[in-house]
Amino acid sequence: MTLKEVAAQAGVSVSTVSRIINSPDDSFARKEVRDRVWSIIKETGYTPNLSARELKRGKMKEQETPDGALACILGRTKTLEDDPFFAQLARVIEQQAMEQGYPVRLSYSVFDMKPNSIPEKAESFNADGAIILGRVSRNYMDFLEKQYKNLIYVGRNIISADCDQVICNGYEATQIAIKHLIACGHRRIGYIGEISSEVRYQAYLDTLREHGLDYSANLVSNCPQNGAGGYQGADYLLSTASPLPTAVFCATDITAIAALRRFTESKIKVPEQLSVISMDNIELSGYVSPMLTTVGMPIVEMGNIAVQTLIARIQKRHKLPMKIFLPNKLAIRESVTNLNAGAYI
């Protein structure tokens, strides 16, 4: 399979395929075009000629990049379309893996797995290693550790496992968000997201206690951390919280975006009447109205480091399980009002 053949199947030019593959932030071309190109790459087994690429750049490689292949396993969602955060992360991983000569040839979700059995399409695929995106249950983790000799987990929370892990701490990100609301004068703060075994909910509670703020069950919406959950969570909050909180923390951006829609339908002005903050900083968070204030996670760095660390393990350049922590960063936009100053910050 050549670049020209990929372009022909995708119905685009060769230069378009090349730019999609090499786009550092996965922003070249429309999303449907990008998805179509990457789907063809996966299905056909296309691999760029890395030696030719290096020669074109004026570099000589001491040895050929080893041919290999990786699998990508979704832990928190059935499909990438359901979770923009992991969709962006998966695309970074695909780009970096191809660059390193270990392209992602198979993707599936733990929701496709039966007890102690990977999907049929994965049984005949001999992956050199696998990347798990998001948490999985202990039983699934035990099985995957037996199935794949080389394994790395990428997510927002530390998991109990002996594999390598690349983590952007969800507890810390939530603390940053809640403390920002408190610094803006908010004292009655709600929560929309999951509760059971969820570090974001624990961080929400701990930060309120740390600042002497009251906790009220009426301000908490226990819901899935996706679009449907965010809409339902906002609806629940509107029906149970009296008075409404002055601010709400949403466990993910996609949850917050759906909550914004529900608040708008109820004529609740954000941020004038209700401030909203979340975490992830997905691409869409900067395009909604009002633009979301959110705690961003370095998605590009998470994906790149995960691939590089996994390949290092495959090539036996390290043996001990590694835990690599990456920092969070607050992205201040329009959805939080400063009650102390009466202005957006």
Q: 156-205, pLDDT tens digit by residue? A: 888 889 999 999 999 999 999 999 999 999 999 999 999 998 999 999 99
Angle between helices 14-22 and 31-44 (to 10 degrees): 90
pLDDT computed for residue 123 by the predictor:
77
> How far is the C-alpha of 143 from the C-alpha of 106, rounded, in Å?
18
Query: What pLDDT, on the 0 to 100 scale, is given for residue 54?
Result: 53
Please name which of 177, 209, 164 lies closest in space to residue 276, comparing C-alpha atoms: 177
Residue 59: its pLDDT value, please? 52
Residues of the chain with pLDDT under 70: 24-25, 42, 45, 48-66, 342-345
Among residues 297, 134, 320, which one has the least CA distance to residue 312? 320
Say what the pLDDT of residue 62 is. 45
Q: Can you give the pLDDT at residue 345?
A: 47
pLDDT at 60: 47
Where do the domains of the chain lie, and which CATH numbers do they carry? Answer: 1-46 (1.10.260), 170-296+330-344 (3.40.50.2300)
Please state, for a pLDDT cut of 90, what percent of the chain lies above it: 63
Give the number of other CB atoms < 10 A from CB of residue 142. 13
The answer to whether the CB of 100 falls within 8 A of the CB of 90 is: no
Q: Where are the beta strands (DSSP E) in the chain?
A: 70-74, 104-109, 129-133, 151-155, 164-168, 189-193, 220-222, 247-250, 275-280, 293-296, 323-326, 329-331, 337-338, 343-344
Among residues 279, 25, 281, the alpha carbon closest in space to that of 157 is found at 279
